[in-house]
């Protein structure tokens, strides 16, 4: 390997992967698992739907239309010679892409002809092609997508919740934008955002599975187009601590009411550390997993069903919250029970038995995820965008204490900063 290389090794798992800072500016993470028949690659940028106002290298701030990151993801697959999916069809790879609140990723998996597929990935992501005609055509496609999601109960219950939690942060805006905002997108806007956020210094390439590390790097040496480092400042308005409203509801075509209960947290530019993330994961596991008293009580009383009830720690640049989701005949009662259980936990503390059960469960799932090349590659990318590292997180879970978890509870799950979103059947 000619590029500077750092080896990450886990004594707990016996696994290792390599981190290379390529001369082009790209950070490359390679996790060989040559006993696997398949390989999974993710080429991503730290650029998502919330990045609508930014400043580059101290220049004047630039504000772009909402939904442009998602729009750019769609358009990047096209070129003058066709689209990337047609090229992947010839190698047999399964390809996809997604835009989240703070990242955009292009990916493929394959069991054969990996290096040909990797060449396609590195090629099309680095070669944008936007014209007035193709941009106008895409507006009609994404317009239909936005209108479809406007009637999607799962989508609406989430964004209604985010609108109830956040006053100003763009996390409350649909990832695809609005019909009005995408009508403002032009080739000039797309190229501006591409030059800013698709700079290789802002990107990462993560590969897990059956590969030759040196051969991957040789291909990167040949295909990566060097970029100059630049400072990107993401600009957000100050977000009030309080929620916008404590409850919001909408009626749609559902058989059973849907709910999401969110607990807003103070958040700045800094993302959570591995230790904080591990403590939050164990806290939620102890509070609401299917082994918890809360879950059993809600299930026994017929307030939830075991397939739809879930929870997550949802955080990024300038936003953070805990969200509980599910179906229920009485969402307000579920919200009341969750808040009461949080209050009990805050007063009585977390028992040693509940803590150990939750910690071991999180640790076991983290170790098991290393058997999946998809989980590894996507996990490395997500952690890289959060400035965190995979094995450090596993070590933090193993070394976590009850006191660490209780300290997280001091800032998380505050009922005075919570909101409930409900989607009711039309008949109600």
Per domain, the residue ranges of the chain are 5-234, 247-425
The pLDDT confidence band at residue 82, using thresholds 50, 70 and 90, is: confident
| Region 38-57 average pLDDT | 97
Q: Which two tokens stand for residue 375?
A: 């989980």
pLDDT digits (tens, 9 = 90+) for 358-380: 999 999 999 999 999 999 999 99
Cβ pair 161, 216 in contact under 8 A? no
Cα separation, 320 vs 289, whole angstroms: 20
Give start and end residues of each alpha helix (H) in 172-316. Answer: 179-182, 187-197, 213-223, 274-288, 293-300
For residue 360, what pLDDT is reported? 98
CA distances from 331 to 169, 296, 406, 419 (A): 26, 16, 27, 12
Exposure b/e, 367-380, CB count within 10 A at least 16 = b: beebebbebbbbbb
Based on its alpha-carbon atoms, the radius of gyration of the chain, rounded to whole angstroms, reads 22
For residue 208, what pLDDT is reported? 98
> What's the gap between Cα 193 and its chain centre?
20
| Region 167-187 average pLDDT | 95
**Which residues, listed in sequence order, are joined to residue 43 by a DSSP beta bridge?**
106, 205
For residue 2, what pLDDT is reported? 57
Cα separation, 423 vs 36, whole angstroms: 43
3-class DSSP assignment, residue 315: strand
| Region 151-171 average pLDDT | 97
pLDDT digits (tens, 9 = 90+) for 269-278: 678 899 999 9
Same fold, 5-234 and 247-425: yes
pLDDT for residue 386 is more than 60: yes
Sign of CA dihedral 115, 116, 118, 119: positive
For residue 134, what pLDDT is reported? 87
| Region 22-37 average pLDDT | 96
Tell me which of 1.10.150.120, 3.90.1150.10, 3.40.50.261, 3.30.830.10 is the CATH number of domain 247-425.
3.30.830.10
For residue 169, what pLDDT is reported? 96
Cα separation, 373 vs 389, whole angstroms: 16
pLDDT for residue 221 is more than 90: yes
For residue 115, give every residue at least 6 positions away whose Cβ sits within 8 Å of its Cβ, in sequence order, or none.
215, 216, 219
| Region 136-163 average pLDDT | 92
pLDDT digits (tens, 9 = 90+) for 387-406: 999 999 999 999 999 999 99
For residue 269, what pLDDT is reported? 62
| Region 331-350 average pLDDT | 97
Query: Into which CATH architecture does domain 5-234 fall?
Result: 2-Layer Sandwich (3.30)
pLDDT for residue 1 is more than 60: no
Cβ pair 163, 52 in contact under 8 A? no
> Across the chain, what does the average pLDDT equal?
95
| Region 44-48 average pLDDT | 98
Residue 314: name the closest of 52, 53, 100, 69 by CA. Answer: 100
CA distances from 316 to 123, 240, 265, 325 (A): 29, 16, 11, 19
φ, ψ of residue 401 to 5 degrees: the values are -120, 165
For residue 225, give every residue at least 6 positions away whose Cβ sits within 8 Å of its Cβ, in sequence order, or none.
24, 126, 200
Percent of the residues in the chain that have a pLDDT greater than 90, as a whole number: 90
Note the pTM of the prediction, 2 decimals.
Answer: 0.94
Active site residues: 73
């Amino acid at each position: 390997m000619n590029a500077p290389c750092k080896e990450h090794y886990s004594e707990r798992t016996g696994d290792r992967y390599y981190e290379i800072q390529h001369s082009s500016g790209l950070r490359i993470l390679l996790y060989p698992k040559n006993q696997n028949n398949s390989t999974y690659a993710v080429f991503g940028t730290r650029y998502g739907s919330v990045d609508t106002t930014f400043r580059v290298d101290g220049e004047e701030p630039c504000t772009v239309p909402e939904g442009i990151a998602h729009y750019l993801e769609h358009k990047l697959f096209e070129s003058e010679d066709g689209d990337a999916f047609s090229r992947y069809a010839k190698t047999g790879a399964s390809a996809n892409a997604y835009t989240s609140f703070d990242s955009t990723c292009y990916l493929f998996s394959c069991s054969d002809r990996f290096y040909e597929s990797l060449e396609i990935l590195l090629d099309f992501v680095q070669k944008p092609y936007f014209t007035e005609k193709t941009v106008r055509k895409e507006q009609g496609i994404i317009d239909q997508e936005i209108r479809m999601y406007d009637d999607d109960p799962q989508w609406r219950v989430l964004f209604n919740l985010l609108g109830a939690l956040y006053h100003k942060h763009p996390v409350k805006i649909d990832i695809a934008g609005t019909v009005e905002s995408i009508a403002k997108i032009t080739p000039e806007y797309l190229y501006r955002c591409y030059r800013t956020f698709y700079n290789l210094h802002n990107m990462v390439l993560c590969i897990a599975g059956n590969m030759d590390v040196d051969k991957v790097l040789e291909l990167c040496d040949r295909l990566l187009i060097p970029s100059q480092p630049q400072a990107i400042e993401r600009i957000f308005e100050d977000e009030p601590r309080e929620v916008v409203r404590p409850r919001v509801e909408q009626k749609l075509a559902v058989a059973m009411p849907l709910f999401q209960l969110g607990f807003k947290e103070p958040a700045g530019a800094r993302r959570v550390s591995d230790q904080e993330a591990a403590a939050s994961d164990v806290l939620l596991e102890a509070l609401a997993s299917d082994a918890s008293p809360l879950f059993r009580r809600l299930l026994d009383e017929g307030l939830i069903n075991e397939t739809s009830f879930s929870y997550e720690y949802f955080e990024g640049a300038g936003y953070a919250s805990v969200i509980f989701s599910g179906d229920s005949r009485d969402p307000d009662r579920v919200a009341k029970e969750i808040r009461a259980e949080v209050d009990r936990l805050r007063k009585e503390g977390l028992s040693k038995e509940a803590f150990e059960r939750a910690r071991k469960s999180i640790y076991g799932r983290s170790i098991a995820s290393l058997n999946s090349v998809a989980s590894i590659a996507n996990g490395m990318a997500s952690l890289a965008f959060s400035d965190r590292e995979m094995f450090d997180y596993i070590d933090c879970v193993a070394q976590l204490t009850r006191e660490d978890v209780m300290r997280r509870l001091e800032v998380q799950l505050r009922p005075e900063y919570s909101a409930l979103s409900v989607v009711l059947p039309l008949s109600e």
